[in-house]
Structure 1
Amino acid sequence: HAFLPPSSAASLRCKLTPARPLRLPLLACRPAMSPVKAEDLVPHPCREQFAELDYCITSPPPWITTVVVAFQHYLVMLGTTVIIATILVPIMGGGHEEKAVVIQTILFLAGINTLLQVHFGTRLPAVMGGSFTYIYAAVAIIISPRYILFIGAPFERFVYTMRSLQGALIIAGVFQAVIGFFGIWRVFIRFLSPLAAVPFVTLSALGLFYFAFPGVAKCIEIGLPTLVLLLIFSEYASHYFARGSFVFGRCAVLVTVIIVWIFAEILTAAGAYDERNPVTQFSCRTDRSGLIHAAPWVRFPYPFQWGYPIFCAQDCFAMMAASFASLIESTGTLIAVSRYAGATFVPPSVFARGIGWQVLE
């Protein structure tokens, strides 16, 4: 009776009751049955779609819309990935080529992690990427005094530091997989509500203002128009001026990137930064990043591409602490994804399984 509506359950009990020697007709005890709906037989039906959302897990968009919006999401992920490489690689002693290789590696692993998550993990429509909670632990490892011996050899320092980061990340990934696959996180997640997960996600993102906004201020004539245009297109144009527009409603980031890039290319070609200092030229010119020239056309990252990992106790414990913060961050994000996607009820065991598949994060 757990999968039947009350009226059907009452009717079933009535039909199974032995007939008594009453003068009333047998059909008199059978209440009027309403037709059983398909969603009533499902133990966890899909939730209702939010009114502000156009698509959810039960109403996927057309293929053309999917490709355009997916490319826009890739640009957003590319920006966050570039931020991670821009913060870590120069401190490690790497140049443009090393930064390009790190960006390619992060994007490649993010794609593999996304496929594992949507097929074997929680199966929610979530795109996996590098977590910002590991940046602080990685910076603490990079600025360790034991790397002072590589002052005159920046490339050797980059390789040695990358090997140490690999060893710490391997231990942190194993720690996260054990917590997820062995059901340990399933016990803790019963006491984790969305209200408790929001501060962790918010604080980890707010910490990036220390790194991101100084980068915007280095080229105010490009950064400020980007923020203003993105705010106008996403918040005002899609709700007031062009309500329901595909361009401003779903592709505000893509349109902003195209307009600002054309504007920056015009300023670069016109010689607006020819007499500026090198820092401003590196931040404002479209031909000074060095990533396009340093990146190979086709490259497949492989395990231990910088050498065998180095395992250091203090590095591993620092990454494990960051991994625990990433557990709460990822769980809060998955809760938000399941709610906004209108998915079925996600039990704690599924969240734990999804956390276990994040070993490549």
Structure 2
Amino acid sequence: MGGSSDDSLNKGPEYKPVESYDLTTNGEEVSPADEYLVIRKQLKYPVDKCPNVFMSFVLGLQQYLIMFGPTFAIPVILAPSLCIDSNTVAKGQLLNTMFVMCGLSTVLQIFLGTRLPIIQSGSYVYFAVAAGIMSKQPCEKEYTVVDENNNTITQDWDPNWHNRMAELQGNLMVASILQMILGAFGLVGLLLKIIGPITITVLISLIGLCLAGVAANSASQNWGISILMVALITLFSEYLKNVPVPLPYLTFSPLKVKVTWVKLFSTMSIIISLIIVWGLCGILTATDTFDIDDPARVKNLKEEISKATWFYFPYPGQFGTPKVTLGGFVGMLAGVIAGVVESIGDYYACAKLSGSPPPPKYVLNRGILMEGVGCFLTGLCGPGVGVTSYSENIGAIALTKVGSRMVIFCSALLMIVIGVLGKIGVFFASIPEPVVGGMYLVMFGIIAAVGIANLQFVDLTSSRNVFIIGVSLYIGLVVPMWSKKVLADPETAKAIQTGNEEFDQLVAVILTSGMIIGAVIACFLDNTIPGTEKERGMTSYKLATKACSDKELLKQIYYEPLMEKLATRFPLLRKLPFVNQ
């Protein structure tokens, strides 16, 4: 680091875990509406505070590495539906496009959307949609093509796969327009009248719980490596969080090397653990300690990097003219709605963990509007799946105590740069799956716990509330497990087919999304089973989700400067439901 030391690293408040917060100030109890103030004081960097440039990029790299694994898997999982499983060049194009679009969507969200430190990434809910759309054109074992020398040859990937991609893109673009309308006309804000703490608890908790299968699949490939990753993250983030370590830096006037003491483990527990375990896997791979087929082995970087291109720049229409079909649109619309429901819960969770006041309604509307724009861009350029708020990175804020939007901006820049530089992306692709699985075990659990924390507003001695929460959570877990098995078998899949292709696609998406199922059941029961406002937690929850009275802090965190200037010049814009109020 050049210049001088980062004083904020030395003078930051002593960290205490979120779960042990004493919600009091000077001996007086803090109301739920002001709880964020207590959390804010414990963060190293709240949403509106910035580390120095070097630390911002280091912490941004940490956030990037968290989203890298699942995002990298998206083109790989999508490739079979597009009949290009063996076409490494095509999969590379999809991967580059995915990262660039995620980076652009994240920049839009943190500067023009909610302005919270939320990363936008591809949503797995679209896989079911894509598979449904592509099921009309099953892949063939061989395709006959004419090569550049006019010779007829056969290959095992579809030369016309661009047509398949164009159908996914077009349907996503149309569905995302409706998502933008939801945000632009304030229809999202209307949901808050029926969504209470019980629904939010079920929704956020199921985000973490429904990802248990993803974590299990990754971690179970080598439990030893995964558990080591969990142990190191726990050690650094909880046991050694207050232990300072010496960090040398260079000054130029005079030219001298100095040392500053930094509580490094409290902010970089994930990336430190990742480097240690990744390096260990490399050593065990080089010494052939791992079996040749062990997933914990580090890939042959020289061979993998040689296959990648140096630069690839995604552009609109790169896969052809987007196409729209009724069945595909209905399926994509279901995916978009699932993303909207999930994001509402993510906004509240991210605001709480980053030390921000609960987002006002106009911020929710603006966030969904920008998320719709992000989905439209991914439809315009590819790779055929929409973006949504990434829960895993919100969980990382709880571990690192860094909720700065500037860190997420640096992470977005890394997504774009690495998305364009294909060979760098291949380097990070060498992270073994069990290492990623270890991170999932920690972060997915934190997301589930953040959802449960909303029960502080609810009367848990009420049998009504216990019934709603229990039934909603359990059905939200069980139904997707059953439906995925049913849909995987063509014979059993007929049991939920009506003969109407469009409706069948919609049903398939809903049945495989535990978040939608659980949240809808919880919302219905909570609004129909008799219960007082206090019993349901609505009284305390409305206070907690009510925008704080500190207008200056609200402006500092949530007000969007460009829109503020336009609204100042044209006061009529203030009436729009997504404009600074």
Kindly report structure 1 stretches of 4+ aligned residues shifted beyond 6 Å: 241-245
Check conservation: 1:168, 1:316, Cα contact below 8 A. yes
Contact 1:122–1:351 under 8 Å retained in 2: yes
Is structure 2 residue 364 aligned with structure 1 residue 346?
Answer: no
C-alpha contact (below 8 Å) 1:150/1:156 kept by paired residues: no
Task: Give the secondary-structure state (helix, strand or coil) at the position aligned to 2:314.
Answer: coil
Report if aligned partners of 2:204, 2:345 keep a CA contact under 8 Å in 1.
Answer: yes
Q: Does 1:108 align with 2:108?
A: no
Contact 2:281–2:296 (CA<8 Å) still a contact in 1?
Answer: no
Specify the alignment match of 1:174 in structure 2. Answer: 177
Whether the 8 Å contact between 2:244 and 2:263 is mirrored in structure 1 is: no
Indicate conservation of the 8 Å contact 1:219/1:284, yes or no: no
Using structure 2 for the length normalisation, give the TM-score. 0.48
Q: Which amino acid aligns with 1:297?
A: W
Structure with higher Rg: it is: 1
Higher strand share: 2
Aligned pair partner of 1:229 in 218, 227, 232? 232
Partner of 2:298 in structure 1? 285
Aligned to 1:78: 68
Matched, 1:124 2:116: yes
Question: 37, 48, 51: which is aligned to 2:37?
Answer: 48
- The 1:289–1:230 alpha-carbon spacing in structure 2 relative to 1, beyond 3 Å, is farther
Superposed displacement of residue 184, structure 1? 1.9
Any idea what the Cα deviations from partners look like across 1:70-94, whole Å, max 9, x if unmatched? 1111111212212323332245333
Aligned residue in 2 for 1:246: 263
1:101–1:295 CA contact under 8 A, matched in 2:
no
Rate the CA distance shift 1:45–1:206 in 2: closer, same or farther, 3 A.
closer
Q: How many residues align?
A: 312
Q: CA separation in 2, counterparts of 1:228 and 1:73? A: 19
For residue 351 of structure 1, report the CA deviation from its aligned partner. Answer: 0.9
Alpha carbons of structure 1 residues 146 and 59: separation in structure 2 relative to 1, 3 Å: closer
Any unmatched runs of 5+ in structure 1?
A: 1-43
| C-alpha distance in structure 2 between counterparts of 1:321 and 1:329, whole Å | 12
Superposed CA deviations along residues 276-307 of structure 1, whole A, max 9, x for unmatched, are 3xxx2566232179753333222221112222
Q: How does 1:16-95 map to 2 (within 5 A)?
A: 48-50=37-39, 51-92=41-82, 93-94=84-85, 95=87
- The verdict on how the C-alpha distance between 1:103 and 1:288 changes in structure 2, with shifts beyond 3 A counting, is same
1:263 aligns with 2:253: no
Q: 1:106 to 1:290 in 2, by over 3 A?
A: farther
Contact 2:221/2:295 (8 A) holds in 1: no
- TM value normalised by structure 1: 0.74
Deviations 1:288-337 (CA, angstroms, capped at 9, x unpaired): 79753333222221112222223222222111111111101111111222
The alpha-carbon distance between structure 1 residues 207 and 165, as it changes in their structure 2 partners (threshold 3 A), is farther
Deviations 1:115-154 (A, max 9, x none): 2122222222322222333333234334x14224576442
CA shift for structure 1 position 210 = 2.9
Q: Distance in 2 between matches of 1:227 and 1:160?
A: 43
- Does 2:165 correspond to 1:162? yes
Query: Which residue number in structure 2 is paired with residue 39 of structure 1?
Result: none
Q: 1:128 to 1:192 in 2, by over 3 A?
A: same
The answer on whether the counterparts of 2:166 and 2:320 sit within 8 Å (CA) in structure 1 is yes
| Bigger mean CA deviation after superposition, 179-188 or 60-69 | 60-69
Q: CA deviation at 1:169?
A: 1.6
Report what 2:501 is aligned to: none
Counterparts in 2 of 1:66 and 1:46: CA distance versus 1, 3 Å: farther
Identify the residue that residue 318 of structure 2 maps to in structure 1.
305
After superposition, the CA RMSD in angstroms is 3.2
